[in-house]
């Protein structure tokens, strides 16, 4: 028994060729995408107008805490201990405008001393803290 896998020559095709239809649809889709205007999303924000500054202090008070290479803590040039530092910090925070605290440890100071002073500053609740004299660490 032989199976006949012959082709049906002469019979009309019963399937439609969809390749040209797909090509036309893709071209139409691309043309449709190109013609759609680009949507720009804008968020409108009411920005504040320039206003003259309101009575800002011209030269605010600054306190400087420095630590020399021997580990001596100074407050505005006078030597103090950690207990006195804590008292000075509490007094400065009671002022109507908190003064800026400038912190300047020497590059040769032991880290333990610097860490103790920074811990006292944090415990006191100082919010305006600046590190000054950082250029000395450029040659480390």
Predicted confidence (pLDDT) at residue 4 exceeds the cutoff of 60: no
Our measurement of the distance from residue 63's CA atom to the centroid of its chain's CA atoms, rounded to an integer in Å, reads: 28
Q: Tell me what the mean pLDDT of segment 13-31 comes to.
A: 89
Predicted confidence (pLDDT) at residue 56 exceeds the cutoff of 50: no
Threshold 0.75, pTM exceeds: no
pLDDT in tens, 68-85: 999 999 998 889 999 999
| SS3 of residue 39 by DSSP | coil
Q: Which pLDDT belongs to residue 58?
A: 45
The pair of structure tokens assigned to 72 is 């001596």
Q: Which pLDDT belongs to residue 95?
A: 85
Let me know: does 68 contact 109? Beta carbons within 8 Å.
yes
Fold of the domain spanning 62-134: Nucleotidyltransferase; domain 5 (3.30.420)
Q: Tell me what the mean pLDDT of segment 47-58 comes to.
A: 59
CA angle, 62 then 66 then 70, to 5°: 170
69-76 LR contacts (CB < 8 Å, sep 24+): 69/106, 69/107, 69/108, 69/109, 71/109, 71/110, 71/113, 73/113, 73/117
């Amino acid at each position: 028994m032989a199976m006949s896998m012959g082709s049906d020559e002469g019979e009309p095709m019963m399937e439609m060729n969809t390749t040209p239809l797909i090509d036309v649809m893709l071209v139409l889709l691309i043309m449709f995408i190109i013609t759609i205007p680009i949507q720009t999303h804008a968020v409108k924000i009411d920005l504040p107008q320039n206003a003259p500054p309101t009575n800002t202090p011209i030269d605010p008070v600054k306190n400087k805490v420095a630590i020399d290479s021997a580990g001596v803590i100074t407050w505005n040039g006078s030597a103090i201990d950690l207990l006195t530092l804590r008292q000075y910090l509490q007094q400065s925070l009671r002022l109507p405008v908190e003064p800026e605290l400038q912190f300047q440890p020497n590059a040769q100071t032991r880290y333990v001393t610097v860490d103790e002073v920074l811990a006292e500053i944090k415990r006191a609740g100082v919010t305006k803290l600046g590190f000054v004299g950082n250029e000395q660490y450029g040659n480390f």
